[in-house]
């Protein structure tokens, strides 16, 4: 026997801004610089080989007591300063990371508390190196649907906690750092449609070595992150170039309209191969922050963006194509107007 | 359509030349990609992907490590085409 639902009052819903844009970015790079020579103390390699293979000259390492929350908060404060906003104006904090060393609580509520943004909504997202670009898309939707007016999106990693310095395949790649962006309402479209997706059939390509259960029950060693370098290279170049092109197409933008190309700083060889596959004209600045920052996973795109703006390589108000891809496998790309 | 071993070798030499600048004449059957031609694993992957396109074959990631010499690559491509 069914009963009819009683007369139900209508729900109120939110209306957001017509458009959203990135109001400002900020970055934090730990003080300690780690050279290739230092990396070569624990693997059989050379400075020259690392530079040729990856383009990395140095990377930063967080201090032992320096946490993901510390770095994320520092980057957030830089972004607030860049925008002139106050922490109390932030309605939501999204932290993209895979190296916050607690299953719970997440990093975002602690970052919100630290910077003075409580009681903002605050949650972490785990989308590996693509986390920041995922966060930008979420923030875009939140602002345009009215869930939030200003959203702080942070990509942060302390990969030094999860790297194996004796692994010849990955010891030289990773770095620590944090980058942040504040997304808010706009009178013009400042964030293009995101092309994003996943391929879980390739989840072993980039992965923490063992699960925590295996560490607990089978005495597995500390589970560092490892990569199948060649396979990652092939996927990043040949599967991601069409994704980057799709992001341009969906934004209604041609490659020659761009001022900057900001791919995840995975490896200089991947960056250069992607730029070549996209046939980017020579006048377009291509992010090469990896040379001095290493691969900082979720932090890499916002840190590269900050460097290009601060150095004048990319113009404020210019157009940039950002794309990031990583463990999962997952990826996200969008065209943005640079703050 | 299956190609002769010579056609495949010549095609592969062109691909290696485009990727590395090495003279096509140096791409000989008995040469090792890493030890003799000094091609690193990432350049090797670019060569593999270009070879897939040129020869209409599929070379899976886990097969690449078995292609140690130019001969290994030519033999694999010949087999994949037939």
Q: Please tell me whether residues A220 and A247 are part of one structural domain.
A: yes
* pLDDT given for residue B1 in this prediction: 55
Q: Which residue out of A54, A234, A241, A274 would a mutagenesis test of the B interface target, given it has the greatest number of B Cβ atoms within 10 Å?
A: A234
Which residues of A are the active-site residues? 129, 264, 295
Domain end, chosen from A149, A167, A186, is at A186
- Domains contained in chain A, number: 2
Query: Does A230 touch chain B if contact means CB atoms closer than 8 Å?
Result: yes
A230 to B40: CB separation less than 8 angstroms, yes or no: no
Q: Please tell me whether residues A202 and A168 are part of one structural domain.
A: no
- Distance between CA atoms of A52 and A291, rounded to whole angstroms? 11
CATH of the domain at B34: 1.10.1200.10
Q: Is residue A8 a part of any domain in this protein?
A: no
Query: Does A123 touch chain B if contact means CB atoms closer than 8 Å?
Result: no
Q: Please tell me whether residues A223 and A312 are part of one structural domain.
A: yes
Q: Which of residues 152-211 of A touch B (CB under 8 A)?
A: none
What pTM value is reported for the model? 0.96
- Domains contained in chain B, number: 1
Q: Is residue A109 a part of any domain in this protein?
A: yes
Of A53, A228, A238, the CB nearest to B49: A238
* pLDDT given for residue A2 in this prediction: 65
Q: Which of residues 239-268 of A touch B (CB under 8 A)?
A: 267
Contact list in B for residue A234 (CB cut-off 8 A) is 45, 48-49, 61
Q: Please tell me whether residues A154 and A242 are part of one structural domain.
A: no
Q: Tens-digit pLDDT profile for chain A (339 aa)?
A: 566 678 999 999 999 999 999 999 999 999 999 999 999 999 999 999 999 999 999 999 999 999 999 999 999 999 999 999 999 999 999 999 999 999 999 999 999 999 999 999 999 999 999 999 999 999 999 999 999 999 999 999 999 999 999 999 899 999 999 999 999 999 999 999 999 999 999 999 999 999 999 999 999 999 999 999 999 999 999 999 999 999 999 999 999 999 999 999 999 999 999 999 999 999 999 999 999 999 999 999 999 999 999 999 999 999 999 999 999 999 999 999 999
Q: Is residue A5 a part of any domain in this protein?
A: no
Give the pLDDT confidence of B18-72 residue by residue, as tens digits. 999 999 999 999 999 999 999 999 999 999 999 999 999 999 999 999 999 999 9
Q: Please tell me whether residues A211 and A146 are part of one structural domain.
A: no
Among chain B residues, CA nearest to A269:
B42
- Distance between CA atoms of B41 and B56, rounded to whole angstroms? 22
Query: Does B61 touch chain A if contact means CB atoms closer than 8 Å?
Result: yes
Range(s) of the domain holding residue A241: 195-337
**CB pairs < 8 Å spanning A and B:** 26
Q: Which residues contact A208 (CB under 8 A, 6 or more apart)?
A: A162, A223, A224, A225
Smallest Cα distance from A270 to chain B, Å: 9
Range(s) of the domain holding residue B10: 5-81
What separation in angstroms does the CA of A219 have from each of A165, A209, A212, A215? 20, 13, 10, 5
Q: Please tell me whether residues A205 and A132 are part of one structural domain.
A: no
Q: Which residue out of B45, B53, B63 would a mutagenesis test of the A interface target, given it has the greatest number of A Cβ atoms within 10 Å?
A: B45
Domain end, chosen from A186, A206, A230, is at A186
CATH of the domain at A177: 3.40.47.10
Query: Does B60 touch chain A if contact means CB atoms closer than 8 Å?
Result: no
- The total of other beta-carbon atoms located within 10 Å of residue A163's CB is 23
* pLDDT given for residue A337 in this prediction: 98
List the strands of the sheet with A195-198, edge to edge. Answer: A195-198, A330-337, A319-326, A260-263, A285-286
Q: Please tell me whether residues A24 and A159 are part of one structural domain.
A: yes
Contact list in B for residue A238 (CB cut-off 8 A) is 49
Using omega within 30 degrees of 0 as the cis cutoff, is the peptide bond preceding A119 cis? Answer: yes
């Amino acid at each position: 026997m069914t009963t009819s639902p009683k007369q139900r009052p209508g729900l109120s819903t939110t209306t957001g801004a017509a458009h959203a844009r990135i109001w400002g970015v900020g970055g934090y790079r730990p003080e300690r610089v780690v050279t290739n020579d230092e990396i070569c103390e624990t693997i059989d390699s050379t400075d020259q080989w690392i530079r040729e293979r990856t383009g990395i000259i140095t990377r930063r390492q967080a201090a032992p007591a320096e946490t993901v929350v510390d770095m994320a908060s520092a980057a957030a404060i830089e972004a607030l300063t860049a925008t002139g906003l106050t922490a109390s104006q932030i309605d939501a904090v999204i932290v993209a990371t895979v190296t916050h060393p607690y299953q719970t609580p997440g990093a975002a509520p602690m970052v919100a508390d630290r910077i003075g943004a409580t009681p903002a909504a605050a949650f972490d997202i785990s989308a590996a190196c693509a986390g920041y670009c995922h966060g930008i898309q979420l923030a875009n939707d939140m602002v345009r649907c009215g869930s939030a007016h200003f959203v702080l999106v942070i990509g942060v990693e302390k990969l030094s906690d999860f790297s194996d310095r004796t692994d010849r395949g990955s010891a030289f790649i990773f770095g620590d750092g944090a980058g942040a962006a504040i997304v808010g309402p706009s009178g013009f479209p400042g964030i293009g449609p995101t092309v994003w997706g996943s391929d879980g059939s390739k989840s072993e390509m980039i992965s923490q070595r063992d699960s925590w259960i295996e560490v607990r029950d089978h005495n597995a060693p500390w589970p560092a992150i490892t990569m199948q370098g060649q396979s990652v290279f092939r996927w990043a170049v040949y599967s991601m170039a069409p994704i980057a092109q799709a992001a341009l197409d969906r934004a209604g933008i041609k490659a020659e309209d761009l001022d900057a190309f900001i791919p995840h700083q995975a490896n200089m060889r991947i960056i250069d191969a992607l730029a070549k596959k996209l046939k980017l004209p020579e006048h377009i600045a291509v992010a090469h922050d990896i040379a001095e920052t290493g691969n900082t996973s979720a932090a890499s795109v916002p840190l590269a963006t900050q460097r290009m703006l601060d150095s004048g390589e990319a113009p404020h108000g210019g157009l940039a194509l950002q794309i990031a891809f990583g463990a999962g496998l997952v990826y996200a790309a969008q065209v943005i107007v640079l703050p | 359509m299956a190609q002769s071993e010579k056609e495949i070798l010549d095609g592969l030499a062109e691909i290696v030349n485009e990727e590395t600048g090495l003279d096509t004449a140096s791409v000989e059957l008995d040469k090792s990609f890493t030890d003799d031609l000094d091609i690193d694993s990432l350049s090797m992957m670019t060569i593999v992907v270009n070879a897939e396109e040129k020869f209409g074959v599929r070379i899976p990631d886990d097969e690449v490590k078995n292609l140690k010499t130019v001969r290994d690559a030519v033999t694999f491509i010949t087999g994949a085409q037939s």
